């Protein structure tokens, strides 16, 4: 489903190279974890996958369902089914959460040539998905993410993911700032979306999240490259020994 080939990318503004020849393949139905120390390029990778303009791809390519997505803007990628759960969801005062959800769902449907949702249908879907994530209706009446706690913001991200039904979910440090109860709710939300035609890329710092979202593959990112791939035991190894050994091997 996702194939990243020899990807090189830099910060557009100052030319700093962050991704330096990254290769990664994620198949449909797979849950892939990307781990790595601070500054290895994890968040940058998530932004590049979703098409943020602040980064420039200088070499290599990203194929999604066999098609290069480099020329697509973030909205086009989203409509094709790529979803990024933000590490830091932004607060947007003045945009009502429900209005935002409705616009996002309907714009994606329009882009795919599907009929727009009726209001009752929309409300029913939101209510069902919100209940599963224990999201209070009062939260949905607020402006988008405004005044949400860290945990509420992350749950709101997963709610959006559940409603938009993407094919490729990229979770950028979704575990950061979550207590154990919130972590379980979020993990359950992600696991509920697991399906043979959907892939999930979990970007995380710690093994903790992977106790709840069990990965099929684990990849270590360091200085903009995948330096080691393995199964879930690799994550446990990292948890025990830290990154130093693997980095030492690669160097």
Partner 1 sequence: MNMQTTSRLTAAETALVEAFAAQIGEFPGDGAVIGTRDRLLDDLKKAGLPTRRIESWHYTDLKSLLRQVPDAAPVAAVDPVAALVDGSKIFSILQGFADPKASADGVEVTVFKNKLTDGSAAAELTAFGNDDAIGRINGSFVRDGFAISVPANTELEQALELQALHAGGQIHTRFPVSFGAASKATIIERHIAVTDGTALVSSISDIRLDDGAEVTWIIVQQQGAADTHLGQIRVKLGTQAKLRLFVVNAGGKLVRQELRIEVEGQGAELTLRGVNLLGGESHTDVTLMLGHNVPHTNSTEIIRNVVFDRANGVFQGMIRVAPDAQKTDAKMACNTLLLSDDGGFSVKPELEIFADDVICGHGATVADIDSNHLFYLMARGVPENKARAMLVNAFVAEIVEELEDEKLVEALEGIISSWLERHA
- Which residues contact partner 1 by CB under 8 A? 50-54, 73-75, 77-79, 83-84, 86, 89-90, 92-95, 100, 103-104, 107-108, 111, 143, 160, 164
The residue among 159 and 185 lying less far from partner 1, judged by its C-beta, is 159
* Shortest CB 242 distance to partner 1, Å: 32
The residue among 19 and 49 lying less far from partner 1, judged by its C-beta, is 49
* Shortest CB 70 distance to partner 1, Å: 16
**DSSP result, 102-113:** HHHHHHHHHHTT
Q: Would you tell me how many other CB atoms lie within 10 Å of the CB of residue 231? A: 11
- Cα–Cα distances (Å) from 126 to 25, 45, 130, in that order, read 33, 30, 6
The residue among 107 and 211 lying less far from partner 1, judged by its C-beta, is 107
Strand order in the sheet with 31-35: 82-85, 168-172, 199-204, 31-35, 217-222, 225-230
* Shortest CB 92 distance to partner 1, Å: 5
Q: Identify any residues that bridge with 241 across adjacent strands, giving them in sequence order.
A: none
Q: Would you tell me how many other CB atoms lie within 10 Å of the CB of residue 151? A: 16
* Shortest CB 36 distance to partner 1, Å: 22
Comparing CA positions, the residue from 138, 150, 132 lying closest to residue 98 is 138
* Shortest CB 141 distance to partner 1, Å: 12
- Cα–Cα distances (Å) from 247 to 6, 147, 208, 225, in that order, read 20, 40, 21, 11
* Shortest CB 143 distance to partner 1, Å: 8
Q: Would you tell me how many other CB atoms lie within 10 Å of the CB of residue 195? A: 12
The residue among 156 and 227 lying less far from partner 1, judged by its C-beta, is 156
The residue among 163 and 221 lying less far from partner 1, judged by its C-beta, is 163
Q: What angle do CA 97, 140, 195 make, to 5 degrees?
A: 85
Comparing CA positions, the residue from 193, 146, 189, 142 lying closest to residue 167 is 193
The residue among 79 and 225 lying less far from partner 1, judged by its C-beta, is 79
Q: Which residue has the tokens 């020899």?
A: 6
């Amino acid at each position: 489903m996702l194939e990243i080939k020899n990807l090189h990318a830099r910060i557009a503004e100052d030319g700093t190279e962050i991704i330096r020849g990254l290769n990664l393949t994620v198949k449909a139905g797979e849950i892939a974890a990307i781990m790595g120390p601070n500054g290895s390029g994890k968040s940058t990778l998530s932004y590049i996958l979703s098409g943020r303009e602040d980064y420039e791809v200088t070499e290599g390519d990203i194929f999604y369902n066999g098609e290069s997505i480099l020329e697509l803007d973030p909205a086009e990628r989203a409509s094709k089914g790529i979803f990024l759960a933000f590490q830091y969801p932004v607060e947007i005062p003045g945009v009502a959460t429900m209005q935002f959800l409705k616009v996002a769902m309907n714009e994606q449907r329009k882009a795919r040539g599907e009929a727009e949702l009726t209001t009752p249908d929309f409300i029913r879907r939101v209510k069902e998905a919100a209940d599963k994530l224990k999201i209070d209706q009062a939260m949905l009446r607020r402006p988008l993410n405004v005044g949400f706690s860290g945990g509420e913001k992350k749950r709101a991200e997963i709610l959006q993911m559940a409603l938009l039904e993407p094919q490729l979910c990229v979770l950028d440090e979704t575990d950061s700032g979550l207590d154990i109860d919130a972590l379980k709710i979020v993990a359950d939300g992600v696991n509920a979306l697991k399906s043979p035609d959907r892939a999930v890329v979990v970007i995380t710092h710690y093994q903790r999240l992977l106790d709840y979202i069990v990965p099929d593959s684990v990849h270590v990112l360091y200085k903009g490259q995948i330096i080691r791939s393995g199964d879930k035991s690799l994550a446990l190894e990292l948890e025990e020994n830290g990154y130093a050994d693997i980095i030492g091997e690669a160097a």
